């Protein structure tokens, strides 16, 4: 007999009746009836009911047990008495009549129970993460995460990709997020940085002739947290391919994601062919570059219906500035005053002066609400016709410069969808967002910046791009798109990628436009530049976020529910106590003196 077990707690069936079983596990729950006592014994594999009564030599021992003690039990497997079977449990036809109990690991009083599904505060859950991980929900999420990653690896390898490991201690990069720094002992005053992503490495792998790279890569960014953004570290399915166009990347990645979502999505339908939506269209239609396509609402430009109209606020704005537009958010089935007022007060809560609306109802087929009165029936009908709205429907309006109001229009569209229950649940709606602008205007510094990734290829002829004059062609610069793309699923940005800039001359030009001299480029990307100038293949890739994929597939709203040992929102690991003080000796070795902020 094995020291601890000859079966797991998920094993025993009727076929084992009569055998002697040795099980080890956690006391999940004790039900003490005085004369008879039930112990639900739990391990990773399942739950088995262990029974003791006064005839059992272990009865006295059994009465002392508490939840979450780790024990070993020996006993006879027997059929449960007629009518007491538990069909909910795979082991529910049998029970183990205990003859011996050995306590392997007693437990003190628990700060949170494993049994049951009561909500517990985050700080307690994180401090006692190992208890939380014993609970069914987290335990299953973590298992599912592992299975998803297995499936991704298999699919990538089947697609001809090869897995690489890249350095964790690397050099700080000037663009992007704040780096995590690691001081060098050997080089006083110098620092390694943890990679924000293996971006340069994966490109160098392509320049090293390997052709198809992937990695489940740890990424480190010193950024503040969100519900869907871990502080500190997260994982990406990092992908790079040589001799590819944007379409080749899509063709390689789409089946992997679709397959994984079909495999683990619980039967929920998945977009079969991901639509391509240009960035500019996404903003116009959905007010965001990560639209939730489960929400059917599409916004439209209705500026002409308000220009010169009797609604002086909008008409005045339009007359004063040619950049001002009015966008309509249609709200089918929202045609009642209560809903429109609710939206209006929601908008005020968002810091807006209000939310103009028109609605149509029986008896007021030509439009109800103050706005309709102001602009008159003809213009109201123009709006109704353009949006295909009628009695029972409503429409809301946002006005101003689109650049300024999209941040409100997007959430307003989402709010209308939620309030009217228009968002289709139970499916995964994917799309590609393409044609991101290469540069953007930095109002603060009065200069042109990279708008996303400095390594993206501008979508413009090489000669034409090289001929650009950074000062004179500013409008032209801001109109250039990069060959860059995002994958969005149900309103969550899953990934970002690009066809890379593999030409050193174009690279130098792009950095010059953003105000970086060749010296900066040389100092910060010297290795990369060398590689680009010694025979670089055209290449591109993408990097879907593993944590977000798992989050969507587990139906969780928060990344901490799908990460084994997450940090809290302030980037602290409450279980391990990180970050922590270090000894003066350690600091001395690293040539570091602390200069702490005044309290």
Kindly state whether residue 18 participates in binding RNA, applying the rule CB under 7 A.
no
User: Among residues 100 and 150, whose Cβ is nearest to RNA?
Assistant: 100
DSSP string, 273-322: SPPEEEHHHHHHHHSSSS--TTS----EE-HHHHTTSS-HHHHHHHHH-T
Residues in 199-218 that interact with RNA by CB under 7 A: 199
427 binds RNA (CB under 7 A): no
CB nearer to RNA: give 58 or 375. Answer: 58
> Measured from the CB of residue 308, what is the shortest distance to RNA in angstroms?
34
Rounded CA-CA distance 451/436 in Å is: 8
The residue from 1, 2, 119, 338 that contacts RNA (CB under 7 A) is: 119
Query: Residues in contact with RNA, total (CB under 7 A)?
Result: 67
Residue range at the interface with RNA (CB under 7 A); choices 51-59, 239-247, 261-269, 340-348 = 51-59
Q: Is 221 in the site for RNA (CB under 7 A)?
A: yes
If one asks whether residue 230 binds RNA (CB under 7 A), the answer comes out as no
368 scored as a contact of RNA (CB under 7 A): no
User: If binding is defined by CB under 7 A, does position 228 make contact with RNA?
Assistant: yes
Binding of RNA at residue 67 (CB under 7 A)? yes
Query: Which residues fall within 8 angstroms of residue 86, CB to CB, at 6 or more apart?
Result: 49, 80, 92
Q: Return d(Cα 65, Cα 393) in angstroms, integer.
A: 63
Q: In what order do the strands lie in the sheet with 162-163?
A: 162-163, 212-221, 232-242, 539-542, 492-499, 484-489, 430-434, 276-278
- Residue 84 vs 140, nearer CB to RNA: 84
User: Does residue 122 touch RNA according to CB under 7 A?
Assistant: yes
Residues 202, 195: Cα–Cα separation, whole Å: 12
> Of 146-165, which residues contact RNA (CB under 7 A)?
none
Q: Which residues between 479 and 508 bind RNA (CB under 7 A)?
A: 496
Q: Is 453 in the site for RNA (CB under 7 A)?
A: yes
Binding mask 71-90 toward RNA (x if CB under 7 A, else -) reads ---------xx-xxxx-xx-
Answer yes or no whether residue 278 interacts with RNA by CB under 7 A.
no
Note whether 227 binds RNA by CB under 7 A: yes
* 134, 452, 509, 548: residue in contact with RNA (rule CB under 7 A): 452
Query: How far is residue 230's CA from residue 224's CA, in Å, rounded to a whole number?
Result: 8
Q: Report the alpha-carbon distance of residue 430 to residue 50 in Å, rounded.
A: 48
Contact 246, 485 (CB under 8 A): yes
Cα→Cα distances 565→20, 130, 269, 578, Å: 38, 9, 31, 12
Nearer to RNA (CB atom), residue 110 or residue 479: 110
Q: Does 173 bind RNA (CB under 7 A)?
A: yes
Strands 181-183 and 232-242: unpaired
Tell me which residues in 280-339 interact with RNA (CB under 7 A).
none
Q: Which is nearer to RNA, 123 or 589 (CB)?
A: 123
Q: How far is CA 225 from CA 116, 194, 238, 568, 581, in A?
A: 29, 18, 21, 8, 22
- Residues 541, 548: Cα–Cα separation, whole Å: 18
- Tell which one of 24, 166, 196, 215 touches RNA (CB under 7 A): 196
Tokens 């397959």 correspond to what residue?
259
Tell me the C-alpha distance between 492 and 550, whole Å: 12
Nearer to RNA, 430 or 450 (CB): 450
Binding footprint of RNA on the chain (CB under 7 A):
29, 31-36, 38, 40, 49, 51, 53-55, 66-67, 80-81, 83-86, 88-89, 92, 95, 109-113, 116, 118-124, 173, 175-178, 196-197, 199, 221, 223-229, 407, 450, 452-455, 496, 558, 568-570, 572
């Amino acid at each position: 007999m094995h020291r601890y077990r000859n079966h797991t707690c998920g094993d025993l069936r009727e076929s084992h009746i009569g055998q002697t079983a040795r099980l080890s596990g956690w006391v999940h729950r004790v039900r003490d009836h005085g004369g008879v006592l039930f112990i639900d014994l739990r391990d990773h594999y399942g739950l088995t009911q262990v029974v003791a009564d006064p005839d059992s030599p272990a009865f006295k021992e059994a009465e002392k047990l508490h939840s979450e003690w780790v024990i070993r039990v020996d006993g006879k497997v027997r059929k449960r008495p007629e009518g007491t079977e538990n069909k909910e449990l795979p082991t529910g036809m049998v029970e183990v009549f205990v003859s011996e109990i050995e306590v392997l690991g007693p437990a003190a009083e628990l700060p949170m129970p494993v049994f049951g599904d009561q909500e517990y505060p985050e700080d307690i859950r994180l401090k006692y993460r190992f208890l939380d991980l014993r609970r069914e929900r987290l335990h299953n999420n973590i298992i599912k995460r592992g299975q998803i990653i297995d499936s991704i690896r298999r699919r990538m390898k089947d697609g001809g990709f090869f897995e690489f490991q890249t350095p964790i201690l690397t050099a700080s990069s000037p663009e992007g997020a704040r780096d995590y720094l690691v001081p060098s002992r050997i080089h006083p005053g110098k620092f390694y940085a943890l990679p924000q992503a293996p971006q340069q490495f994966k490109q160098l792998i392509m320049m090293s002739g390997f052709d198809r790279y992937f990695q489940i890569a740890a990424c480190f960014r010193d950024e503040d947290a969100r519900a869907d953004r871990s502080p500190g570290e997260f994982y990406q399915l990092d992908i790079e391919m040589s001799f590819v166009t944007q379409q080749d990347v899509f063709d390689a990645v789409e089946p992997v994601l679709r397959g994984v979502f079909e495999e683990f999505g619980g039967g929920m339908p998945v977009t079969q062919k991901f639509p391509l939506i240009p960035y500019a269209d996404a903003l116009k239609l959905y007010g965001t570059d990560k639209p939730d396509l489960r929400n059917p609402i599409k916004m439209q430009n209705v500026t002409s219906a308000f220009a010169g109209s009797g609604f002086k606020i909008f008409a005045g704005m339009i007359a004063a500035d040619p950049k001002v537009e009015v966008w309509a958010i249609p709200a089918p089935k929202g045609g009642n005053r209560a809903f429109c007022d609710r939206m209006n007060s929601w908008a005020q809560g968002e810091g807006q002066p209000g939310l103009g609306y028109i609605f149509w109802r029986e008896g007021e087929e030509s439009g109800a609400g103050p706005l309709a009165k102001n602009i008159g029936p003809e213009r109201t009908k123009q709006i109704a016709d353009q949006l295909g709205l009628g009695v029972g429907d409503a429409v809301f309006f946002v006005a101003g410069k689109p650049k300024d109001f999209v941040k409100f229009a997007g959430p307003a569209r989402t709010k209308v969808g939620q309030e009217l229950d228009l968002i289709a649940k139970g499916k995964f709606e994917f799309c590609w967002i393409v044609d991101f602008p290469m540069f953007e205007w930095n109002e603060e510094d009065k200069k042109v910046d990279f708008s996303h990734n400095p390594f993206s290829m501008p979508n413009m002829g090489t000669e034409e791009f090289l001929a650009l004059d950074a000062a004179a062609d500013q409008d032209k610069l801001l109109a250039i798109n990069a060959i860059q793309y995002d994958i969005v699923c149900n309103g969550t940005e899953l990934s970002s990628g690009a066809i890379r800039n593999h030409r050193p001359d174009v690279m130098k030009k792009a950095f010059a436009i953003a105000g970086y001299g060749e010296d900066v480029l040389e100092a910060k990307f010297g290795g990369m530049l060398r590689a680009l100038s010694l025979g670089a293949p055209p290449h591109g890739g993408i990097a879907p976020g593993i944590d977000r994929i798992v989050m969507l597939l587990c139906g969780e709203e928060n990344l901490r529910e799908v990460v084994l040992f997450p940090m809290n929102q302030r980037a602290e690991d409450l279980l391990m106590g990180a970050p922590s003080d270090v000894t003066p000796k350690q600091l001395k070795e690293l040539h570091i003196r602390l200069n702490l902020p005044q309290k």
